Amino acid sequence: MTEFEAVPAVAGDATARAGTIVMKFGGTSVGDPEKLKDVAARIVAAHRRGTRVVAVLSATGDTTDELVRLAYEISPTPEPRELDMLISVGERISCALAAMAIHDLGDEAISLTGSQAGIVTDTVHGKAKIVDVRARRIHEALDQGKVVLVAGFQGVSTDLDITTGLLGTNTWGILGYRPEYATSLVKNWILYSAARTIEAYAKSRTAG
């Protein structure tokens, strides 16, 4: 499902940031190359209407599930840090491929990992929560007229490790306290379903 969220102005900016939308595309929407091209066309269409576009993409199809299964085939108890490293890959693949498709359609785009997008989390692997959003690169790219593609599902911890995690009331607390953090709406879905997938798979292995 695709959702659209308005992104409010960043406090203190000289130029208003009105007309920016966040487009979110789940795994089914980007499930194969043709669907990814369709997503790229929809993003470009929005961009050409004069809208500044930030799109957050999930991993294609069952990529995350497959990576989790692979991890548990290698180890019955995967190291949480390395599991985050592994399962963060799918969203980056989607974003890079979508950026290529957007370029082919004649628009400029840049793909960013969670860390590059400035999503800072705590240090709890697999269930990290956002503690800060430093969206400078997102806003710079938007100011340059580029579509920004942010890899969902991930951030960077205060220890500088890749993290994946749950976003709950803390996210909305950040948004309420600091309006400029509204860009973190692109992260408001990052790992709830994937965390459930990991937990369910681990339980099934134990039960087996």
The predicted pLDDT at position 167 comes to 44
Segment 7-22 mean pLDDT: 50
Length, in residues, of the chain: 208
In angstroms, how far is CA 65 from the centroid of its own chain? 17
19: confidence class by pLDDT, cuts 50, 70, 90: confident
Residue with tokens 């576009």: 53
The DSSP annotation for the chain comes to --EEEE-PPPTT-SS--TTEEEEEE-TTTTSSHHHHHHHHHHHHHHHHTT-EEEEEE--STTHHHHHHHHHHHH-SS--HHHHHHHHTHHHHHHHHHHHHHHHHTT--EEEE-TTTTTEEE-S-TTS--EEEE--HHHHHHHHTT-EEEEETT-EEETTS-EE-----HHHHHHHHH-GGGGGGGGGTTSSHHHHHHHHHHHHHHHH-
- Alpha-carbon distance of 49 to 160, in angstroms, equals 38
Q: pTM to 2 decimals? A: 0.75
The answer to whether 21 touches 46, Cβ cutoff 8 Å, is yes
Domain locations in the chain as residue ranges: 3-202
| Residue 121, number of CB atoms within 10 A of its CB | 29
**Considering only the top CATH level, what class is 3-202?**
alpha beta
List the single range of 127-136, 147-156, 170-179, 184-193 with lowest mean pLDDT. 170-179
| pLDDT tens-digit readout, 65-84 | 899 999 999 999 999 999 99
Mean pLDDT across the chain: 77
Q: Is the pLDDT of residue 9 over 60?
A: no
The answer to whether 24 touches 3, Cβ cutoff 8 Å, is yes
